[in-house]
Structure 1
């Protein structure tokens, strides 16, 4: 009987030991599987980090290589600039020996102010016998849509050139030159146009091409008129006009501070100042030396003005509304005093797209080249003698 009990106890012990051993093995296998899974994840992460580190190293090496190339190019450019500066200094020294500097002369500021005031509001002595005034807009032709909402296009009224000059935007440094009107009208791109890059960017849409030169406005600390030679692509002259505290000249075209225009008499400057901020001012510009010959305060208000032009010495200011309606000539100023706004009926332009950002009168063909919300338009004008208005 004791042997049987011992045998049963031994069997029970063996069975319990076997179950414990099985559970322990399962536990160890589970832990080993978890460890192997973690080792596999670590291996994957390590491989990815190694790959990213290798890519980053290659990027850094490439950047260092590019920096080294740029440093070498900059060093060469600096050396070239030093050579040019040395040559320029030698040339300046030579010129100074050939042309000694004139003695210094102190300018009396009060005398300068008196000279400018003397030029203001004097009677203008005309250079031509032109005595016509605008009676109505006879016809309108929409050529195409080119560029942004603001811009300018024009022709040179001096000479026989048929070139079309196109200035896209109220601030840029590159303009287009088309050989003829046909290429500008038919071309769907600028393939047939020459691109000319200016040494300084322009501001506004107050430029003019006149006698082979481009006259445009550059903004630095002050507004500067640049005379650019279109033949040799160089700046022939520049000047800061004797105008202080300028404000936008047109209430509906805030980008224009100086508008340079041409008529039968030559070049004019349309501007406005804080001193006389309610009305537009006019000045006669010498195309040769950019000097101001005469200046006038006009009765034409800045408010709701969108553009202006000059015909036969008479300023025509075009007005609109903030919500564009029909543009109209509502105020004129004749520098010779022959006519006034009271003598002239309001002249309307056909309603088109929006508001004119520029209107350039060409005294040669007596047409206005207008830019209306990106559309290039030609207005034909009807004229009649000024003495018929009385």
Structure 2
């Protein structure tokens, strides 16, 4: 009996132990499966996040490379544009030099032709006589450009008064009144120096705004016409005789050169080398074929007319007194003479100013 009871106990113990092991295995499998189910999505999410981060980094690098490429292309285009502009400027300068040489060569040829045609046959007459005759012919040519219906019997002797019209604000500017400075309005057309060119003058019809003619003025635009107004390379003016251009010539010591232009065709009628220096000059204007140059200082002061050049040789420029302007502001960026009302229209440091002139009758010889 005891042996049977012990056998039953042993059998029950074994069964209980087996049951406990099964339970442990089941719990382990359940727990392990739960952990696996929980861990697998996390691993996948981490993997995708790493992939997205790598893709985002590649896109950022690609964007940076594209921006760098775009900047390089812009720099290359800018450099090409700058070199093109320099080439255009150099081409205009070379064209201006060529035109200047051609103009001076034409003058020499005309002088030589004149001498060949007018040297007297009498051997004892010296060459000075023919040169004197040539000078007489030149003087007649100068006088012949004066229109018969214009009154040019007076010269400027002083500034009578001034009137300030308004303050515009900008230190540089022009009236845009017929005529104006640097660009003139004359007989229904506007004449102006084309920007970014050395010496090109355009003639534009005011009504239909079309370019009707253009001129490359020989020798102009290689230096500022006035050292105190460096933006003006080529100036234009109108007086009783018509249309004029004014520029400084570095081959002539920086002195001013005036050219009479045909306002219809823009053809050059005649050119005069003056004794008026462009240094410390701020502006100039023409009255009846007489050039009046206004000077000042770098720091601004009282403007004055210190140089006069008369193409008719009727004014003794060496004895001409210095004409002072009334002291107002700094300096003139523009001065233009109106041949109808015979007044000066000025731009004085942002102030639009009108000057009335003192004129004196002279005898034309």
TM-score range, shorter chain: 0.5 to 0.7
**Structure 1: how far apart are the matches of 2:220 and 2:236?**
17
Q: CA deviation at 1:292?
A: 1.0
**Structure 2: how far apart are the matches of 1:152 and 1:245?**
20
- Call closer, same or farther: CA 1:229–1:133 in 2, change over 3 Å: same
TM-score (norm 2): 0.60
> C-alpha offsets along residues 229-263 of structure 1, whole Å, 9 cap, x if unaligned?
11111111111112267211112111111110010
Q: Which runs of 5+ in 2 are unaligned?
A: 1-48, 50-55, 57-98, 112-134
**Structure 1: how far apart are the matches of 2:100 and 2:357?**
44
Q: Secondary structure at the match of 1:275?
A: helix
Q: Out of 158, 176, 180, which is 1:136 matched to? A: 158
- Call closer, same or farther: CA 1:109–1:142 in 2, change over 3 Å: closer
Q: Is the 8 A contact 1:132 1:386 kept in 2?
A: yes
- Answering whether residue 167 of structure 2 is matched by residue 145 of structure 1, we say yes
**Structure 2: how far apart are the matches of 1:319 and 1:112?**
29
- Answering whether residue 357 of structure 2 is matched by residue 381 of structure 1, we say yes
**Structure 2: how far apart are the matches of 1:214 and 1:147?**
25
Q: CA deviation at 1:373?
A: 1.1
Q: Is the 8 A contact 2:202 2:215 kept in 1?
A: yes
> C-alpha offsets along residues 245-292 of structure 1, whole Å, 9 cap, x if unaligned?
721111211111111001000011111122013311111111111111
Q: Is the 8 A contact 1:139 1:379 kept in 2?
A: yes
> C-alpha offsets along residues 117-162 of structure 1, whole Å, 9 cap, x if unaligned?
559x9431222441211011111000111142111114226xxxxx
1:156 maps to 178
RMSD value over aligned CA atoms? 3.3
Computing the radius of gyration from Cα coordinates, the structure with the larger value is 2
**Structure 2: how far apart are the matches of 1:319 and 1:354?**
12
Count of residues in Structure 1 that have an aligned counterpart in Structure 2: 245
Q: Is the 8 A contact 2:103 2:218 kept in 1?
A: no
More strand by share: 1
**Structure 2: how far apart are the matches of 1:138 and 1:131?**
19
- Answering whether residue 204 of structure 2 is matched by residue 213 of structure 1, we say no
Q: Out of 264, 268, 281, which is 2:257 matched to? A: 281
2:289 maps to 313
- Answering whether residue 106 of structure 2 is matched by residue 115 of structure 1, we say yes
TM-score (norm 1): 0.57
Q: CA deviation at 1:295?
A: 0.6
